[in-house]
Each structure stands twice: as structure tokens, then as C-alpha cells.
């Protein structure tokens, strides 16, 4: 069941899961701007032993498509942990909620799901963050 879930791109990155279920906490800084809130995402992926080269090939192809087709994606950088060589973190920044949703719904993102799912050692860990910008 886990393997089958991993093959669904919308579930691979679990976009349905990362929306907050609680209201936003009160913000002293009052930086919230509703729909135009910039979003950051740190996606942590652990890769099966011996599969990191394949993972990098597949992910870099996806990243090129994201940059070419998603004007609302501001950063989409693959990085690799120095402490855990099988662990990768993608640093992602989106101009707003709509751009974030468009990424998860894109054909190129969904198409990468099976190849990524086949090399992942487990479900990706996603941390969604609110972008803080000047007034």
C-alpha cells in the first residue's frame, strides 16, 4: 500500500496534507497577506541505497520543467545533505498559494511521480513555510 501510494504524484508530495488544519496563529508582525502570501517549502527525500544517481537524473529533469513552465515558482533547488548522503532537500519558493497549487497540479510534476516513487526510501517529509517580505 505504501508503494502504491508513493506512485501517486499528488500523494508523493502530499500537497493535500500540508495545508494547515488550524487557523494561522496570531502574528505579532502581521505579515499575512491572504491569497498573495509567498510560500516556501522544504521537501526532504531519502533515497534507496544505490539509487541516488537515478534520483538526481529524474529530479533534475523535473526541475528544468518547473523552471520552464511555472512563472510563480521562484526557487526550486535540489540540494544534498552532507551528514546523510542518501538524503536530499529541495528548497522551493512560490509567489503565492495559487503558484504552489499549480505546481502540485502540473502534468510535469505528476508525470515524475512514478520514477521518483521507485527510488524513494520512504514518504517525503514536507515543511511548508510562510514567506516573509517587506511591506
Provide the binding-site residues for its own copies, judged by CB under 8 A.
Answer: 20, 24-31, 38, 40, 42, 50, 52-53, 56, 59-60, 64, 74-75, 77-82, 85, 88-89, 91, 93, 127-134
DSSP result, 10-42: HHHTTTTTSS-SSPPPP-TT----GGG--EEEE
Element of type H or E holding 63: helix 52-69
| 15 CB neighbour count, 10 Å cutoff | 19
**Measured torsion, CA atoms of residues 19, 8, 47, 20, in degrees rounded to the nearest 10:** 10
Q: Give the nearest distance from C-beta 27 to its own copies in angstroms.
A: 7
In the complex with its own copies, the residue whose CB is nearer, 6 or 45, is 45
Q: Give the nearest distance from C-beta 99 to its own copies in angstroms.
A: 14
In the complex with its own copies, the residue whose CB is nearer, 91 or 111, is 91
Q: Give the nearest distance from C-beta 127 to its own copies in angstroms.
A: 8
Q: Give the nearest distance from C-beta 61 to its own copies in angstroms.
A: 9
In the complex with its own copies, the residue whose CB is nearer, 99 or 128, is 128
Angstrom distances, CA of residue 1 to CA of 6, 16, 32, 127: 8, 18, 38, 24
Amino acid at each position: 500500500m505504501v508503494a502504491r501510494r508513493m506512485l501517486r504524484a499528488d500523494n508523493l508530495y502530499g500537497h493535500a496534507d500540508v495545508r494547515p488544519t488550524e487557523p494561522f496563529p496570531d502574528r505579532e508582525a502581521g505579515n499575512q497577506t491572504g491569497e498573495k502570501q509567498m510560500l516556501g517549502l522544504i521537501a526532504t527525500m531519502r533515497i534507496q541505497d544505490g539509487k541516488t544517481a537515478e534520483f538526481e537524473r529524474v529530479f533534475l529533469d523535473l526541475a528544468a520543467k518547473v523552471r520552464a513552465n511555472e512563472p510563480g515558482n521562484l526557487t526550486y533547488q535540489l540540494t544534498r545533505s552532507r551528514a546523510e548522503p542518501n538524503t536530499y532537500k529541495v528548497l522551493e519558493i512560490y509567489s503565492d498559494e495559487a503558484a504552489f497549487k499549480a505546481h502540485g497540479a502540473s502534468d510535469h510534476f505528476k508525470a515524475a511521480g512514478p520514477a521518483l516513487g521507485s527510488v524513494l526510501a520512504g514518504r517525503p517529509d514536507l515543511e511548508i513555510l510562510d514567506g516573509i517580505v517587506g511591506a
